[in-house]
Amino acid sequence: MKKENNTYLIINGIAIFVMIGLITFASIKYGAQIADLLKDPKHFAQWMNSFGAVGALILIGFQILQIIIAVIPGEVIQIASGIAFGGFFGSVYSILGMLLGSVIVFYATRLLGFGFIKTLVPQKHLEKYNKLLNDPKFEIILFVIFIIPGLPKDILVYFAGLTPIKPLRFFLIALVARSPAIIGSAVIGASLGKENYVVVAIIAAIAIVAFVLGIIFQEKIIHKASSFKK
């Protein structure tokens, strides 16, 4: 039994090392190019369109990468998706990428465990989210955090893999709760492409207000969600 545990720890440690190595390598080698592309959604959309039909796969790949590397701005990718592919297909491709990225992160965390997260997440976030992991209302809290702008989402995907939540249940929560914001960003992008600035202004104003309120009241929102009766 002890030998099996030691083997598991060795394999786990190697897997963590490889995963962190790949992320670090990609960040160092391609970080500057990615940052340059994501400075301007229109520029990013034009770049994707230059690849023709393959552009959709590139968008999905970037959205997957954004979930794995949370510091990449998801809104820029999603706005660019609307510019390049329109509100409907931009939303579909971005949502697909979000789900695939969530699947990768969820199962990587479930396989590699807490040690993997410790190498990626700052200590202050570890302490904060550790409390949420043990909350019996975790699923409700997860849904609330996912659906309200301004609350940290991508880091929570890593932590979800450590909970007993069923994978399909988690992916359904991610799909339902995260889709509205993704669709909104894609519609903004599509409207920018058509120079329909009234729609852009309305959606952006709603998003900004929701984002600011989410930032200001995030602790109260999470507390309220944790006290919600199932």
From its phi and psi, is residue 86 left (phi > 0), alpha (psi between -120 and 50) or beta?
left
**58 residue type, one letter:** I
What are the pLDDT digits (tens) for 52-78?
A: 989 999 999 899 988 888 777 888 899
Is the pLDDT at 9 greater than 60? The verdict is: no
- To the nearest whole number, what is the mean pLDDT of the chain? 79
Domain count, the chain: 1
Find the domain containing 43 and state its range. 2-226
What are the pLDDT digits (tens) for 161-188?
A: 888 888 999 999 999 999 999 999 999 9
What lies within 8 Å, CB to CB, of 162 at 6+ separation is 109, 110, 113, 114, 117, 133
**What are φ and ψ of residue 227, in 5° steps?**
-95, 0
Radius of gyration of the chain (CA): 19
Is the pLDDT at 16 greater than 70? The verdict is: no
Low-confidence winner among 111-115, 127-131, 145-149, 169-173 (lowest mean pLDDT): 127-131
pLDDT classification of 10: cutoffs 50, 70, 90: low
pLDDT at 169: 92
Predicted TM-score (pTM) of this structure: 0.80
For 28-80, the DSSP string reads: HHHHHHHHHHTT-HHHHHHHHHTTTTHHHHHHHHHHHHHHHSTTS-HHHHHHH
